[in-house]
């Protein structure tokens, strides 16, 4: 009897130890952002041609770059539940102004580069896009890289971003396969054919405004609102040369453009699908691009 109790006690202690070692399902980043645990798993990455068959540019560069579908395995990681907000980004800018710290910058960042929010042509981001709880936009890949470094985080890979949006079961959008405005339920901030403001916002919405559009893991605003920079270089046909199953990919070793995911408030529904691969030079800043960060578990 005593031996039986000892074995049981040992088992309970072992379970308690395992529970203590298990990563928390939700944490706060250094920047105060809620981060959700994305468990290790395997998923199907890419997009299906039939999803864009009715688009006049269905054979265009962006859509061809999604193919072919392939399997990806990932270790567990954390990702921001929401896009980085203006309020959070401004704290980063305050830090840079106070310290002049350049150690956060990517080695390839151009000299005398400013991390201020700008639009094409160098103009400042207008007041309509500068609400504290709106996603920070007018940011380049270099800006996103430096901010995530400051927050002791990193940019997610394209595969990590897509898994956080899709989960283990294939779906067109984070919420499923139905259109973002099906049955009168708005699931994303995008540009519907009836007018850009019909989803409630002319430009970006405060983060978390569309809970019906959350991903299977609870990650918000992965379709629409702000386009999101991810770590990977963009090579249009890079999926053609991959093995049957890819482990923790981070994309091509070099390139001209970095990958952008998720579409924005000005995107047609085809461009806010999970599989869509947008792109831009890492130094470009427009009123569409923002980001979220990730970190290892």
SS (H, E, C) the chain: CHHHHHHHHHHHHHHHHHHHHCCCCEEECCCCCEEEEECCEEEEECCCHHHHCCCCCCCCHHHHCCCCCEEEEECCEEEECCCCEHHHHHHHHHHHHHHCCCCCCCCCCCCCCCCCCECCCCCECCHHHCCCCCECCCCCHHHHHHHHHHCCCECCCHHHHHHHHHCCCCCCECCECCCCCHHHCCCCECCCCCCHHHHCCCCCCCCCCCHHHCCCCCCCCCCECCEEEEEEECCCCHHHHCCCEEECCCCCCCCCCEEEECCCCCCCHHHHCCCCCEEECCCCCCCCEECCCEEEC
Kindly state whether residue 9 falls inside one of the protein's structural domains: no
Q: For the domain that residue 203 is a member of, what is the CATH number?
A: 3.90.1580.10
Task: Give dist(CA 250, CA 247) in Å, integer.
Answer: 9
Kindly state whether residue 1 falls inside one of the protein's structural domains: no
In the beta sheet, which residues pair with residue 8? none
Judge whether residue 196 has pLDDT over 80: no
Mean pLDDT of 192-205: 86
Kindly state whether residue 93 falls inside one of the protein's structural domains: yes
- Predicted confidence at residue 1, as pLDDT, reads 45
**Neighbouring C-beta atoms of residue 255, cutoff 10 Å:** 17
Print the domain residue range for 195. Answer: 27-296
Joined tokens for residue 19: 């529970």
Judge whether residue 153 has pLDDT over 90: yes
Kindly state whether residue 144 falls inside one of the protein's structural domains: yes
Judge whether residue 7 has pLDDT over 70: no
- Predicted confidence at residue 29, as pLDDT, reads 97
Task: Give dist(CA 154, CA 147) in Å, integer.
Answer: 8
Burial 86-120 (b: 16+ CB within 10 A, else e): bebbeebbeebeeeeeeebbeeebeeeeebebbbe
Q: Which of 113-127, 145-159, 201-215 has the lowest mean pLDDT?
A: 113-127
- Predicted confidence at residue 61, as pLDDT, reads 79
CB of 156 closer than 8 Å to CB of 292:
yes
Indicate the pLDDT class of residue 296, thresholds 50, 70 and 90. very high
Kindly state whether residue 148 falls inside one of the protein's structural domains: yes
Mean pLDDT of 123-136: 96
- Predicted confidence at residue 13, as pLDDT, reads 62
Tens of pLDDT, residue by residue over 65-108, are 999 999 999 999 999 999 999 999 999 999 999 999 999 999 99
Indicate the pLDDT class of residue 191, thresholds 50, 70 and 90. very high
- Predicted confidence at residue 10, as pLDDT, reads 52
Indicate the pLDDT class of residue 51, thresholds 50, 70 and 90. very high
CB of 234 closer than 8 Å to CB of 279:
yes
Closest CA to 43 of 77, 72, 69, 76: 72
- Round to the nearest angstrom and report the end-to-end CA distance of the chain: 41
Tens of pLDDT, residue by residue over 10-34, are 566 655 555 567 899 999 999 999 9
Burial class (CB in 10 A: 0-12, 13-18, 19+), 74: buried
Kindly state whether residue 21 falls inside one of the protein's structural domains: no
Tens of pLDDT, residue by residue over 218-271, are 999 999 999 999 999 999 999 998 988 999 999 999 999 999 999 999 999 999
What total of structural domains would you count in the chain?
Answer: 1
Judge whether residue 2 has pLDDT over 60: no
Q: Which of 8-17, 53-62, 191-200 has the lowest mean pLDDT?
A: 8-17
Kindly state whether residue 64 falls inside one of the protein's structural domains: yes
Kindly state whether residue 13 falls inside one of the protein's structural domains: no
- Predicted confidence at residue 20, as pLDDT, reads 65
Task: Give dist(CA 261, CA 203) in Å, integer.
Answer: 18
* Residue 123 vs residue 174, higher pLDDT: 174
């Amino acid at each position: 009897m005593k031996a039986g109790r000892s074995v049981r006690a040992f088992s309970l202690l072992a379970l308690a130890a395992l529970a203590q070692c298990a990563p928390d399902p939700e944490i706060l980043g250094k920047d105060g952002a809620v981060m959700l645990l994305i468990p290790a798993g395997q998923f199907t990455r890419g997009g299906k041609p039939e999803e864009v068959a009715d688009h006049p540019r269905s054979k265009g560069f962006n859509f061809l770059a999604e193919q072919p579908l392939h399997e990806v395995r990932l270790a567990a990681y954390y990702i921001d539940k929401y896009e980085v907000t203006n309020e959070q980004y401004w704290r980063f800018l305050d830090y840079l102004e106070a310290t002049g710290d350049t150690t956060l910058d990517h080695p390839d960042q151009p000299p005398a580069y400013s991390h201020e929010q700008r639009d094409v042509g160098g103009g400042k981001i207008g007041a309509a896009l500068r609400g504290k709880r709106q996603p920070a936009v007018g940011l380049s890949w270099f800006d996103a890289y430096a901010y995530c470094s400051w927050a002791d985080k990193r940019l997610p890979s394209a595969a990590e971003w897509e898994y956080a949006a899709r989960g283990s079961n294939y779906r067109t959008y984070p919420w499923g396969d139905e259109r973002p405005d099906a049955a009168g339920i708005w699931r994303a901030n995008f540009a519907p054919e009836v007018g850009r403001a019909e989803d409630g916002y002319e430009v970006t919405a405060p983060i978390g405004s569309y809970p019906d559009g959350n991903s299977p893991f609870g990650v918000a605003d992965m379709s629409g609102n702000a386009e999101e920079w991810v770590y990977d270089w963009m090579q249009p046909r890079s999926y053609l040369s991959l093995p049957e199953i890819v482990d923790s990919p981070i994309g091509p070793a070099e390139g001209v453009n970095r990958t952008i995911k998720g579409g924005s408030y000005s995107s047609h529904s085809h461009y806010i699908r999970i599989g869509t691969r947008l792109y831009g030079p890492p130094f470009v800043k427009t009123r569409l691009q923002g980001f979220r960060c990730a970190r290892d578990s």
